[in-house]
């Protein structure tokens, strides 16, 4: 097949870290790459930073939006690539060949979506953890969200098929989408690191994130009554484990999800 076109979408608003992302995307060595930036009407110079990259940004829109999910969907609508990946402001590709390697893997295996590895970095630049996706398990996904959107390449047609990101969610719109997709279309695992991203951001608001993830689980039901009971107990036990033994039980839960033993905060 011909080399697939890959659209990288960055959403931003008043985020000086967007320069890192712009530089990282511009450094990709894949020729059939389209870059879409959706700015939420920044007022701090972020938009000027984006404009300074000139024609390295193929499509740019700056206007108010209805939240993260709305901005992500807007980026997909502006995109024209076969594949789409969302790389938010402040996040960077692990190296200049990531998009090339993903496109080659897609051309060979023709998956509909795929997830690669991730590296976490603290604000001071020190490494916080590494995750390699391994073989996909839908049940594991329902217990903990282990798919960062920055490490996921999706066919644009698949996003359209499933209606994109649900704008009712402020934080867990990606998890809600993974639950909907994963029930019928399992992602492939990419055998390389895709993204290096800073810990923090909206998803670091633990209680709000967990509440939205529970809501997503209710809206995308799965399994027998016995499994649903276990799922209910497990997801409600996570905040208790965090409160009682954040360095013990919480890490044990993470190890259950990250089989290689490398996880954020390790």
For 6-257, CATH gives 3.90.550.10
Closest CA relative to residue 6, chosen from 95, 104, 146, 117 = 104
pLDDT at 200 over 80: no
Beta bridge partners of 130: 119
With a threshold of 0.95, does the pTM exceed it?
no
* Domains in the chain: boundaries: 6-257
Q: In whole angstroms, what is the distance from residue 180 CA to residue 44 CA?
A: 37
Q: What DSSP element (H or E) covers 8?
A: strand 6-12
Q: What DSSP element (H or E) covers 196?
A: strand 188-198
- Please compute the mean of the pLDDT values over residues 109-117 and round it to a whole number: 97
For residues 240 and 262, which has the higher predicted lDDT (pLDDT)?
Answer: 240
Whole-number percent of the chain with pLDDT over 90: 70
User: How much is the pLDDT for 239?
Assistant: 59
> Do residues 212 and 135 lie in contact, with contact meaning Cβ atoms separated by under 8 Å?
no
pLDDT at 101 over 70: yes
């Amino acid at each position: 097949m011909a080399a697939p076109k890959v659209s990288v979408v960055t959403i931003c608003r008043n985020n000086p870290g967007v320069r890192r992302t712009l530089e990282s995307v511009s450094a990709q060595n894949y020729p059939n790459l389209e870059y879409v930036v959706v700015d939420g009407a920044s007022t701090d110079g972020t938009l000027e930073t984006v404009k300074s990259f000139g024609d390295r940004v193929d499509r740019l829109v700056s206007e108010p939006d209805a939240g993260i999910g709305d901005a992500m969907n807007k980026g997909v609508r502006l995109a024209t690539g076969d594949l789409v990946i969302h790389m938010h402001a402040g996040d960077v590709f692990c190296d200049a060949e990531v998009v090339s390697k993903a496109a080659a893997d897609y051309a060979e295996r023709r998956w509909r979506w795929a997830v690669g590895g991730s590296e976490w970095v603290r604000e001071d630049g020190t490494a916080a953890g590494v995750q390699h996706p391994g073989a996909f398990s839908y049940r594991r996904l329902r217990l903990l969200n282990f798919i960062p959107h920055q490490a996921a390449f999706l066919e644009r047609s698949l996003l359209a098929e499933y209606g994109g990101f649900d704008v009712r969610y402020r934080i867990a719109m990606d998890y809600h989408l993974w639950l909907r997709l994963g029930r019928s279309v399992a992602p492939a695992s990419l055998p390389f690191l895709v993204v290096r991203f800073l810990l923090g951001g909206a998803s670091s608001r633990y209680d709000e994130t967990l509440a939205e993830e529970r809501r997503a689980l209710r809206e995308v039901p799965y399994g027998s009554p016995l499994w649903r009971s276990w799922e209910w107990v497990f997801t409600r036990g996570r905040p208790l484990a965090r409160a009682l033994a954040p360095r013990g039980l919480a890490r044990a839960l993470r190890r259950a999800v990250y089989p290689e033993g490398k996880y954020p905060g390790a």
